Amino acid sequence: MIYIILLLVSYLLGSIPFGWLLIRIMGKGDIRNIGSGGTGATNVARVLGLGGFVGVWVLDMVKAAAAVWIGTHFVSPVFGALCGFIAIVGHCFPVWLKFKGGKGNASMFGVLLAINPLTFLVIGVEWLLVAATTKYSSLGAIVGFLVMPLLGFTIGFDMGLVFVAIAALCLYQHRANIKRLLSGTESKMQMDPKKLIAALVVVGLLVLGLVIAINA
């Protein structure tokens, strides 16, 4: 019974639509009718700029990381990773918004940070390098999803399987981006790469500080 409860709690945590809520609070309408229609930080940035991007990214990371911590505390690290995966499912398919949410990027990074900060660092650096050099944020994310399972299997076989599930879900959520990249019609980043890097460094430091505070 405890397993079902923890998985349900993880889904509900992940399904909190911070991007949608922030846009609503700011009186900017429904984020699902703007840009890509996603509720994540990248689409929020189209309305609120870099500040909105950072705020939503941090919150989406924290909610997924919280699911990992809860599962790990009550059961095991592998179950914690599974809870993190379910939180990403909640972010992508929130019950509150008729199952139309974000693509899972920030939540995925929150899961990685909570499971193993080194995997967070490796994927984060890879994403920044690819995004900054190609100007395609989606390409950096997609490369990271392909690399992530390899990192998971270095931790353990069961953890690797969870990483495969996370990567598969995130790739599915980016299927439209993959089609556009292959056809050469994908849009390049609107934000300055240097500003994006600086923002994500700030995000990483904020969440890392939270992790240290919780584990202290």
Q: Can you say whether the dihedral through the CA atoms of 47, 21, 38, 166 is positive or negative?
A: positive
Which amino acid makes up residue 42?
A: T
**Residue in the block written with tokens 């193993």:** 116
Q: Tokens at residue 197, please? A: 């890097």
Euclidean distance between the first and the last CA atom of the chain, given in angstroms as a whole number: 30
pLDDT at 83: 97
What tens-digit pLDDT sequence spans the chain (216 residues)?
889 999 999 999 999 998 888 888 877 777 777 766 677 777 777 777 777 777 888 899 999 999 999 999 999 999 999 999 999 999 999 998 888 888 888 899 999 999 998 898 889 888 888 887 888 888 888 999 999 999 999 999 999 999 999 999 999 999 988 999 999 888 776 656 566 666 666 666 666 666 555 555
Integer Cα distance of 79 and 161 in angstroms: 12
Count of domains in the chain?
Answer: 1
Any idea how long the chain is?
A: 216
Integer Cα distance of 201 and 197 in angstroms: 6
What is the pTM (predicted TM-score) of this model?
Answer: 0.87
* Domain boundaries, position 99: 2-215
